[in-house]
Amino acid sequence: MPAFAGLIPLQIFVSTSLYSVIAVLAHGTSLRLIPANPNDILFARIFAIPGITLTRTPMLPSTPIAPSKTAALSRVLDSVPKGYRHYILGTVSAAKAETLANKFHALYGIGCSPAQRLVRKSKGIANAVLVMYWPADAVEVRWLLLATNGAGFESERLRLVDEKPRLSWLGYELVRHSLQGRASWTWRRPKEAMTELHVLLASQSNRRHYSALAATLERIAKQPGFHGVRAQSWSLFQEARRRGYSEPLPQLFYLQKVSHGDRLTLG
């Protein structure tokens, strides 16, 4: 490899959630890694030039802000299988939401990097993530604090996501289901919401208000496409068919991977 003559191969394990794309800049006798996506962990093989010091620019702690219910609920589904199974929830005015996030970071390290979380875990300290549903122009922000096993939450009255009553948030409840032979988590409409929809479909069908029924089915189809919600939507569509609705049914979409939202820098 003549192009690498005089270079020393240096194996680096980047475990501080800093790099999905790395730019290496030469400044005199140092190389600097520019952080990209703070969620990613990357194994990188870098060739170091003798006499040049490799440094990195530190990332400030931050937490994503979900602008939609889908983004907020998706982050919960991403976190619970990783051990974040204890929770508290609440609402806060939008004017005080950033202050609350900073308070939770100071108390529970919600903006810690993966490397910092490993250190906390090794010391028996619980890790935490803060999920904030904060749409544009919202007056109130709804939040959910999830935590792992460990010390540090003695002053909080935490609940477990898999104990009854189930975790219910943003109009949906968290449940387990079997997916390809293994248990997985999903969201679904609570029983009360499904009862109301069945009653509405029956009323619109019995009165032959098919334009209103079509609008109801469209609204059902546009709700977040989590496995549990989608299965319920299909059962509602079949109910409409049994009651005489003969028009084409709306398409049900599978939920694609969504961003957790732009990141709020924490102090």
**pLDDT tens sequence across 9-25:** 444 444 433 433 344 44
Domain co-membership, 74 together with 45: no
State the pTM of this model. Answer: 0.76
pLDDT in tens, 154-167: 999 999 998 989 99
Domain co-membership, 160 together with 130: yes
Give the residue from 166, 185, 204 where a domain finishes: 185
Domain co-membership, 35 together with 136: no
**What are the strands of the beta sheet with 23-27, ordered from one edge?**
23-27, 30-34, 53-56
Instruction: Find out whether 261 and 63 touch, Cβ atoms under 8 Å.
Output: no
Give the residue from 56, 71, 93 where a domain finishes: 56
- Which is it for strands 30-34 and 53-56: parallel, antiparallel or unpaired? parallel
Residue 28 or residue 98, greater confidence: 98
**CA-to-CA separations, 207 to 49, 199, 204, in angstroms, rounded:** 79, 12, 5
Q: Would 162 be classed as within a structural domain?
A: yes
pLDDT at 132: 98
- As for how many domains the chain has, the answer is 3
Mean residue pLDDT across the chain: 84
Q: Would 19 be classed as within a structural domain?
A: yes
Domain co-membership, 181 together with 68: yes
Q: Would 254 be classed as within a structural domain?
A: no
Domain co-membership, 148 together with 125: yes
Domain co-membership, 41 together with 132: no
Domain residues for the domain of 222 are 191-242
Q: Which of 5-19, 71-85, 126-140, 149-163 has the lowest mean pLDDT?
A: 5-19
pLDDT at 41: 40
Domain co-membership, 178 together with 199: no
Give the residue from 22, 40, 56 where a domain finishes: 56
Average pLDDT rounded to a whole number, residues 201-215: 94
Residue 147 has pLDDT above 70, yes or no: yes
**CA-to-CA separations, 175 to 46, 188, 210, 251, in angstroms, rounded:** 44, 7, 33, 24
Domain co-membership, 48 together with 66: no
